[in-house]
Copies of this chain bind each other. A is one copy, B any other.
Amino acid sequence: MKAEIIAVGTEILLGQINNTNTTFLAEELAGLGMEVYYQSVVGDNPKRLEEVLNLADQRSDLIVLCGGLGPTDDDLTKQVTAEHVKEELVFDERGYQNLLAFFEKRERPMTENNRLQALVFKDGESLQNSTGLAVGIFYQSENGPSYLLLPGPPNELKPMFFNEAIPLLKRHFQQDEQLISRVLRFYGIGESELVTKLADLIKQQTNPTLASYAKPNEVTLRLTVNTLDESEGKQKLDQLEKEILSRVGDFFYGYGENNSLAQVVVRLLKENRQTVSAAESLTAGSFQALLGSIPGASAVYPGGFVTYSEETKAQFLEIDATLLKKYGTVSKECAEAMAQQAQKLAGSDFALSFTGVAGPDSLEGQKAGTVWIAIATKNHVESHLYHFNRDRNYIRNSAVMTGLDLLRRKLIK
Contact = CB atoms under 8 A, between A and B. Distances in A.
A381 B312 CA distance: 22
Nearest to A305: B305
A174 interface: no
Contacts of A23: 12, 15, 17-19
B14 A394 contact: no
Contacts of A155: 216, 390-391, 394
A145 interface: no
A154 to B, nearest CB: 9
A195 B213 CA distance: 40
Contacts of A15: 22-30, 36
A11 interface: yes
A297 B308 contact: yes
Contact of A18 (B20, B37, B111, B292): B20
A168 interface: no
Interface residues of A, number: 107
A345 B216 CA distance: 36
Interface string A142-162: 000000000001010000000
Nearest to A48: B37
Contacts of A10: 211
A260 interface: no
Interface string A279-297: 0101111111101110101
Given A37-B48, A306-B305, A396 B293 contact: yes
A42 B48 contact: no
Contacts of A316: 303, 305, 316, 345
Contacts of A254: none
A288 B284 contact: yes
A255 to B, nearest CB: 15
A39 interface: yes
A359 B295 CA distance: 7
Nearest to A152: B214
Contact of A196 (B30, B111, B222, B298): B111
Interface stretch (A70-78, A89-97, A230-238): A70-78
A164 B27 CA distance: 34
A393 B263 CA distance: 14
A136 interface: no
A193 B313 CA distance: 45
A181 to B, nearest CB: 9
16 contacts: A13-B38, A15-B26, A15-B30, A18-B20, A19-B22, A38-B48, A40-B40, A73-B203, A102-B389, A286-B292, A289-B289, A295-B361, A303-B305, A303-B312, A304-B306, A306-B306
Leading 7 A-B pairs by shortest Cβ distance: A284-B292, A285-B285, A15-B27, A15-B26, A303-B312, A285-B288, A39-B41
